[in-house]
Homo-oligomer: A and B are copies of this chain.
Amino acid sequence: MTSTGKIRLGALAASCLLPALAFAEEAAAPAVPKLDTGDTAWILVSCAMVLLMTPGLALFYAGMVRKKNVLSTMMQSMFMMGLISLIWVWYGYSLAFSPGHSMGGFIGNFDFLWLNGVSSSTASPLAPTIPHLVYMAFQMMFAIITVALISGSVADRFKFSAWVAFAILWSTLVYNPVAHWVWSPNGFLLAKGALDFAGGTVVHIISGVSALTACLILGPRKGHGKENMLPHNMTYVLLGTGLLWFGWFGFNAGSALGANGIAAVAFVNTNTAAASAALLWSLIEWVRNGKPSALGFASGAVAGLVVITPAAGFVSVQSAAIMGLLVSLVCYGAIFLKEKLGYDDSLDAFGVHGVGGTLGAILTGVFASSAVNPVVTKTGWALVMVQLEAVGWSWLIAVVGTFVLLKLVDAIFGAKVAPREEELGLDLTQHSENGYEI
């Protein structure tokens, strides 16, 4: 299983232990690192940047759906900025990051309820140079977008009330436990030694795999395969891509938890993987279709950002470039296969996040280098095996959790809208609005 958290901690440990990586001399006495305004400034900004990814994702998804579902698609993402934010400060952060256990380590407890004990003037052990409250906020933004990502596979047919109920349950009972096992200081997976720099496992695998599970349960969109369901506004997709790319710097480089050399590495790797993936996806289309599409460029860029997420602070820039190439090959293939298999992952949430996240977790095992980041101690087959184990657990949890919770929600609310509602569009039938008025 994964121990992402350890690595986050590790990234910091590194900056304490290795003078070369440490900016401030006083950090050489690792016992009592002081809060650092530069680190704090960078993570505050990163929080805001990651928050902005959710509207960016909303736009990215909204451009791909048909006009009649544009608002419902945006709401499925942006509503999480309200819902998960509140849950997180209320009990989510506590369940995920409290030092204490409950249910035999399955989940945290309520020690941090309403941020009780989450100080603004001292640090969490997980991020020794920034206020604990800033670390909590940074984690919150990840919790928000992870749920939002799922909506891509079930776009155009999820009843809004059911979506909200599912989001609450899923975030509480899938996201929080995984985050607890993996990132909390006493999470029982912390010891396994798997690497996940910025959430490839916790964010992308579990959201992508849950997305697949959910779209299989819900069934396809009305008219799937018979109607053209072309993206109604590709400029939104491109602008969304731009906002995601921008925000992902906060996501990945912010996961260094300080304005340090590891942040620089993560920043450059993030950009490089996005670049090479976008290029290769375009090239594949160029060869297969005769033209590279804007959608292909955008999909490649996002796939590249996904694959590098677990590896951003651990690999060299060449490795990042190669990971970008590989993810485009594999995700392109996955989407091609989807067409053959016929399930309706509408906006390829699984095809990009599930597949790309899984590939990223494995390739992190292949490419992680202690020359880049000294917290990498295991490498080669040993590391790959650990990564695979982490991947397996994440898939298991995502599939089972989503299956159970969605079936429950379906039984209570009915998860899918009626065919006539689907036909009229979710904007009118779920929100009583039109995206565009003439």
Contact = CB atoms under 8 A, between A and B. Distances in A.
A297 B71 CA distance: 11
Chain A interface SS verdict (over half): helix
A82 B44 contact: no
A264 B134 contact: yes
A249 interface: yes
A79 B253 contact: no
A278 interface: yes
B89 A268 contact: yes
A272 interface: yes
A402 B137 CA distance: 40
Contact of A122 (B20, B120, B291, B430): B20
Given A136-B268, A232-B436, A278-B81, A294 B431 contact: yes
Interface in A66-121: 66-67, 70-71, 74-75, 78-79, 81-83, 85-86, 89-90, 114-115, 119-121
Interface string A3-33: 0000000000000001011011100000000
B261 A121 contact: yes
A295 to B, nearest CB: 7
Interface string A252-280: 01000011111111011001101110110
Interface stretch (A212-220, A235-243, A379-387): A235-243
B432 A293 contact: yes
A41 B43 CA distance: 9
A25 B36 CA distance: 11
Given A44-B253, A48-B246, A133 B82 contact: no
Contact of A44 (B21, B62, B267, B276): B267
A301 interface: yes
Given A44-B253, A234-B435, A292-B160, A55 B260 contact: no
B239 A291 contact: no
A236 B246 CA distance: 18
Given A75-B294, A137-B267, A274-B82, A234 B434 contact: yes
A58 B293 contact: no
A206 B85 CA distance: 30
A124 B41 CA distance: 20
Interface residues of A, number: 114
A67 B437 CA distance: 9
B235 A48 contact: no
A154 to B, nearest CB: 18
Contacts of A290: 432
B242 A86 contact: no
Contacts of A300: 82
B86 A264 contact: no
A195 interface: no
A231 interface: yes
Most chain B C-beta atoms within 10 Å of own C-beta, residue among A35, A86, A297: A86
24 contacts: A23-B36, A37-B39, A38-B38, A41-B45, A44-B263, A48-B249, A51-B271, A58-B242, A74-B294, A81-B245, A81-B278, A82-B274, A85-B275, A89-B268, A89-B321, A121-B261, A134-B264, A134-B267, A235-B435, A235-B436, A291-B432, A294-B427, A294-B433, A295-B433
Given A40-B263, A59-B239, A82-B279, 20 more contacts: A23-B34, A23-B35, A23-B36, A37-B258, A38-B39, A38-B40, A38-B259, A51-B271, A55-B238, A66-B437, A78-B297, A83-B279, A85-B271, A133-B261, A232-B436, A233-B437, A234-B435, A291-B430, A291-B432, A294-B433
